[in-house]
Amino acid sequence: MQLHNRDLTSVPMFPLPDVVLLPGTLLPLHIFEPRYREMTRDVLAGPRLIALARLHDDYSADDFGRPAVYSTIGVGHVLASNELDDGRYNILVRGLVRAWVAEELPPDRSYRLVRATVIPDRQEGDPAILRAAHQQLIGLCDQLSTAMSDGGEQLRQLARTAEEAGSCADLVFSAIVSDADERQVLLETQSPLERLEQAMQQVTHLLTRLGGTTELPN
Residue 53 sits in a domain whose CATH number is: 2.30.130.40
Report the mean per-residue pLDDT for the chain.
Answer: 93
* Most distant CA atoms of the chain, gap in Å: 56
Give the residue-averaged pLDDT of 46-58: 94
Mark whether 75 and 169 lie in a shared domain.
no
For the chain, what is the domain count?
Answer: 2
Mark whether 74 and 108 lie in a shared domain.
yes
**Which residue range is the domain that position 187 belongs to?**
127-210
pLDDT of 75 strictly over 80 = yes
Domain boundary among 92, 118, 144: 118
Query: Does the residue 218 lie in any domain?
Result: no
Mark whether 179 and 114 lie in a shared domain.
no
Give the residue-averaged pLDDT of 146-173: 95
Angstrom distance (rounded) from CA 87 to CA 116: 29
From the CB of residue 131, how many other CB atoms can be counted at a distance below 10 Å? 11
pLDDT class of 215 with cuts at 50, 70, 90: low
From the CB of residue 151, how many other CB atoms can be counted at a distance below 10 Å? 13
Mark whether 53 and 152 lie in a shared domain.
no
What pLDDT does residue 8 have?
98
Query: Does the residue 171 lie in any domain?
Result: yes
Mark whether 19 and 74 lie in a shared domain.
yes
Give the residue-averaged pLDDT of 105-124: 94
Question: Are 117 and 5 a contacting pair, CB within 8 Å?
Answer: yes
Close Cβ partners of 86 (under 8 Å, ≥ 6 residues apart): none
How far is CA 43 from each of CA 46, 48, 206, 211, rounded to the nearest angstrom?
5, 5, 38, 46
Close Cβ partners of 158 (under 8 Å, ≥ 6 residues apart): 141, 171, 172, 175
Give the residue-averaged pLDDT of 68-86: 97
Phi, psi of 190 (to 5 degrees): -80, -25
Mark whether 161 and 104 lie in a shared domain.
no
Domain boundary among 68, 83, 118: 118
Mark whether 141 and 103 lie in a shared domain.
no
